[in-house]
Amino acid sequence: MSSPTSTGWSTIAVAGHACDLFQPETVETTARCLIYLHDLPGRPPQSLPAVQAAVEAARLPVLAPRTGRSWWLQHSVERFDQQQTPEAFLLGPVLQECSQRFAAGPGGVGLLGLEMGGQGALRLAYRHPTVFPVAAAINPAIDFHLGMRSGHDWDDGELFDTLWEIFPDVEQARQETAILHVHPLNWPRHQWFASDPADARWRDGAERLDSKLIALGIPHTALFDQPTNDDFLTTAAEAAVQFMVNALDAESRRVC
């Protein structure tokens, strides 16, 4: 069952979980789609005008699962689902939905995420580069473990409660960050990320990821000098989606 929201957008259920769906009236290309991973507050793409405009202009289908403060991890998160992990949900039912609904197979699905979802997109692509060869992250929360520290002044500490439910200490959480899942010989062929210069919380992690990828000689695009605030999100969303369109096009022409 689906329920309409705004033009082209609806809400569907996938394996018992709500997902936001965008189906353009005219599709630019077939057998391709984007999976959008939301941020810590759980904002869907159609609630962010800059992101909504960018994905709608691309005329590609979008499936945006709702998982709450799950951090898109391979660990069990009871508040999300007692039977499957957030990562398993994406690798299983969500990808199956993309295949059945859009005929999008390997190389035809791109991951796009914001903040919590941004680190999730990169982390999933590093863990499963053949499944997700295309990933883009806007202001990725690479160093999510830092939010677990008491007395931090970044945000409402309660937003990081899921991490304390999963990990017994900050160090174990750090071991699961995206940077430590980069493999020097097996990586997603197309990766892009941008960090907001006005947001000091996540910038250091993005810069360290950039440095590691450069040191390993792994091709990627990293942007650190975008306009701030609303201009950052508008500029970053447009650039991220255009990168993904080009990358998915390149994947469709790739000879295995």
- Single out the residue of 163, 133, 147, 138 nearest to residue 72, CA to CA: 163
SS3 113: strand
* pLDDT tens for the 256 residues of the chain, in order: 444 445 799 999 999 999 999 999 876 567 899 999 999 999 999 999 999 999 999 999 999 999 999 999 999 998 899 899 999 999 999 999 999 999 998 889 999 999 999 999 999 999 999 999 999 999 999 999 988 875 455 555 567 888 999 999 999 999 999 999 999 999 999 999 999 988 888 999 999 999 999 999 999 999 998 655 558 999 999 999 999 999 999 998 875 5
| pTM higher than 0.75 | yes
Give the 3-state secondary structure of residue 20. Answer: strand
Residue 252's pLDDT is 87
Print burial letters for 35-48: b (CB count within 10 Å at least 16), e (below 16).
Answer: bbbbbbeeebbbeb
Report whether 65 contacts 72 (CB < 8 A): no
CA 55 to chain centre: 14
Separation between Cα atoms, residue 245 and residue 234, nearest integer Å: 17
Token code pair at residue 52: 């909504």
| pLDDT at res. 29 | 62
DSSP state of 91: I
Tell me how far apart the alpha carbons of residues 213 and 223 are, in angstroms, rounded to a whole number. 13
- Half-sphere exposure of residue 135, counting CA atoms within 13 Å on the CB side? 29
**Predicted pLDDT at 125:** 98
**Looking at residue 149, what is its pLDDT?**
77
pLDDT of residue 151: 43
Q: Which domains does the chain have, with CATH numbers?
A: 2-252 (3.40.50.1820)
Backbone φ and ψ for 38, nearest 5 degrees, come out as: -75, 170
Looking at residue 123, what is its pLDDT? 98
Q: Cα–Cα distance between 134 and 246 in angstroms, integer?
A: 10
